[in-house]
Structure 1
Amino acid sequence: MSVSQPYPQTYPQQGAPAPAPGYAPQPGYPPQGQMPGQGPGPMPGQMPGGQMPGQFQGQPPVQPPRTPTMAGAAERPNLLHALASESTKLWTTRSTLWLLICATLSMPVVDFAISSHYAGLDQVLRSQFTTDSSISALTALLLYVPLGVMVITTEYSSGMIRNIFTACPRRARVLTAKTLMLFVGTLVTTTLLSALSLFVSHAMLPGNFGEPVANSDVLTTAFRCGIYLTLATMFSYGLGAILKRSAPAILIMMAAIFVPFVVAVVTGAAPGSLGEKLMDYSLISGLLSQFNPQDAPATGPSATGILIYLAIAAAAAIGGAYALVLTRDT
């Protein structure tokens, strides 16, 4: 019976370098850390010991320069970015866009219809082009009020307001941008359209061709009408931000426009009666007084006083909207 011999053990020779840690090289492959065709020794451009030229012994290896990340290089959002976002939403939301288009076209179209109807009337009625244009302004009021409501309520109904507040946690900035964009856009469009409707109505009336238009009166009337429509729109905007629902806010605004006027007409506007007070302070009478300030009610506020009262109401509604938006959940 043969006894198996143990494997022969080899010991490193005295003075031989210890093998480097790692896997043993396979037959036909270069040692670890060495490129094919490269002999033993340091790499090109590297000093013995793994140091780079100009580097002292014990100094940490040189790290390559880091490029700045996108988060550090990006510009921090501000109010201008919020204004640009609100402008984009105003022109891309179908409901608000169509309301703005209809409100823009309503004033000259209604003026054209009224002016052509007055062709058979006498010269006195033909010259009352400012009074006739107040009817087109009333039509625009019925369109700008829902516009102010739906600018904010559509975001609540669709749930987009959550994404907006997530992207921009500063809610006051979002509401400020929305308020400024709506105020400036409404003021510019209503003032320009009021001036355009006044000029168009005056030019279409028979007997007025060739007569110069009193530019100062027309511009003053157009500016008053623009301010009135803008304040009414901002009041409806604040009410919509408080209620967060389109239907209740629009219903309340339409009731505020028509109910006092209708009740005053039905009950009779006798001196000192409730009907007279409702007629003096109704939104319709306030709008008509902007075209003819001398026709303002004797017992009620003047045309400028109506604007002041409406500005106070709009500021109160928007202030309440700020208080609720900053404190409640979406």
Structure 2
Amino acid sequence: MSTHQPPMPQAPAPAPDWQAAPGGPYPGYTSPIPVVRTHLGHALASEWTKIKSVRSTMWTLGVFVLLVVGIGLLSGALVEANSDSESLSGENPLSFGFFGLLLGSICIITLGVLTTASEYGTGMIRTTMTACPSRARVLAAKSIVFFTVAFVFALATSGLVAMVHASMLESTGARTPTGSEWFKATVGISLYIALLGLLSLLIGSVIRHSAGAITIMIGVLLAPLVLALFMFTESLSAVRDALLEYSIPNQMSVFYSNSLSESGPSGWDPLWIMLGVTAAVFAGAYALLQSRDV
């Protein structure tokens, strides 16, 4: 009787001899999937996909367009119906677009905050930082995409309202705006609104809380003007004048050559002020982003 001896286990087949690229990090292996070094363009594409796919973008920008165009057309119609050639003589017809943009700026502020702060609330920021470990690149991509979207919408709506006001009110005695006034009432105010929204985005990155950051930015928008209106005593006149002159509503009115105060910023000063403040907050937001955990 012969004993049956089980076959000896066979050694596993050798792995294919993948040749690594010279100087590669994994000797002996080369991925069949092409590896591309990431850059800012990839981060921009990612942020563009996110901002266009969330419902908050559609709602905030939709309400922004409704407010700017709706209030702009309504104010123009009311002025045309209740004014004569004498009352509007020498008046800049573009200045009536201020009211809709002032209210519409709240929508841009809200969207700016949500662009960053909402990711901290949902935890999406961890996925974002994992996909793109460079935090500076993430912050820059968010800022560029949001600023571009805000500027395009502000320019389109302010330009439409300006053209309608010019055609409606020139027949009632308002003067023809100059090229400089057209540029400031469209491109200038749009840059200012986009920077205001970018400032909100950075505050959202610093605070990391949507409701808190929106409250802070609405306070920045309205509180100085409201406080100035209730400072009646002579001893507070200097503080009252400073709050009035540098309030955001007054700075916005400068773009329409219709400042709420006799002194303070003029010309393109409001844009440089907002640019300087935004740059300072950007540096602070970047420093905090580098030092804090996500």
Q: Is TM-score (shorter-chain normalized) higher than 0.5?
A: yes
Matched, 1:105 2:69: no
Distance 1:291 1:151 in 2: 29
Distance 1:269 1:195 in 2: 41
Aligned in 2, Cα 1:155/1:64: closer, same or farther, shift over 3 Å? closer
Matched, 1:280 2:245: yes
Distance 1:236 1:188 in 2: 17
Distance 2:96 2:132 in 1: 46
Distance 1:298 1:79 in 2: 45
Aligned in 2, Cα 1:64/1:319: closer, same or farther, shift over 3 Å? closer
Contact 2:112 2:200 in 1 (8 A): yes
Rg larger in structure: 1
Aligned in 2, Cα 1:215/1:301: closer, same or farther, shift over 3 Å? closer
Distance 2:179 2:273 in 1: 28
Contact 2:88 2:172 in 1 (8 A): no
Matched, 1:90 2:51: yes
- Residue deviations 1:238-268, cap 9 Å, x none? 1110000011111111111111111212224
Distance 2:45 2:177 in 1: 38
Candidates 123, 126, 142, aligned match of 1:162: 126
Aligned match of 2:82: 120
Higher relative contact order (CA 8 A, sep 6+): 2
Q: TM-score under structure 1 normalisation?
A: 0.73
- Residue deviations 1:1-54, cap 9 Å, x none? xxxxxx89xxxxxxxxxxxxx96xxxxxxxxxxxxxxxxxxxxxxxxxxxxxxx
Distance 1:213 1:304 in 2: 17
Aligned match of 1:244: 208
Contact 1:264 1:275 in 2 (8 A): yes
Matched, 1:302 2:269: no
Q: What SS does the corresponding residue of 1:230 show, helix, strand or coil? A: helix
Contact 2:158 2:190 in 1 (8 A): yes
Deviation at 1:137, TM superposition (A): 1.3
Distance 2:68 2:171 in 1: 22
Aligned match of 2:143: 179
Aligned in 2, Cα 1:249/1:65: closer, same or farther, shift over 3 Å? closer
Distance 2:208 2:41 in 1: 25
Deviation at 1:74, TM superposition (A): 3.1
Q: What SS does the corresponding residue of 1:77 show, helix, strand or coil? A: coil
Letter in 2 for 1:112: L
Letter in 1 for 2:292: R
Q: What SS does the corresponding residue of 2:230 show, helix, strand or coil? A: helix
Letter in 1 for 2:65: T
Distance 1:268 1:143 in 2: 32
Q: What SS does the corresponding residue of 2:36 show, helix, strand or coil? A: coil
Distance 1:268 1:198 in 2: 36
Q: What SS does the corresponding residue of 1:291 show, helix, strand or coil? A: coil
Distance 1:111 1:81 in 2: 38
Q: Which runs of no fewer than 5 residues in structure 1 stay unpaired?
A: 1-6, 9-21, 24-62
Correspondence list, 1:182-197, <5 A: 182-197=146-161
Letter in 1 for 2:181: D
Contact 2:228 2:240 in 1 (8 A): yes
Letter in 1 for 2:238: S
Query: Which deviates more, 269-278 or 94-103?
Result: 269-278
Deviation at 1:204, TM superposition (A): 3.2
Distance 2:64 2:32 in 1: 44
Distance 1:129 1:287 in 2: 16
Letter in 2 for 1:121: S
Q: TM-score under structure 2 normalisation?
A: 0.82
Aligned match of 2:280: 316
Aligned match of 1:36: none
Letter in 1 for 2:251: G
Aligned match of 1:143: 107
- Residue deviations 1:251-296, cap 9 Å, x none? 1111111111112122249794321221111111111111116x47
Which one has a larger percent helix, Structure 1 or Structure 2? 2
Letter in 2 for 1:219: F
Q: Matched residues, percent identical?
A: 29
Candidates 122, 129, 153, aligned match of 2:117: 153
Aligned in 2, Cα 1:130/1:269: closer, same or farther, shift over 3 Å? farther
Contact 1:130 1:198 in 2 (8 A): yes
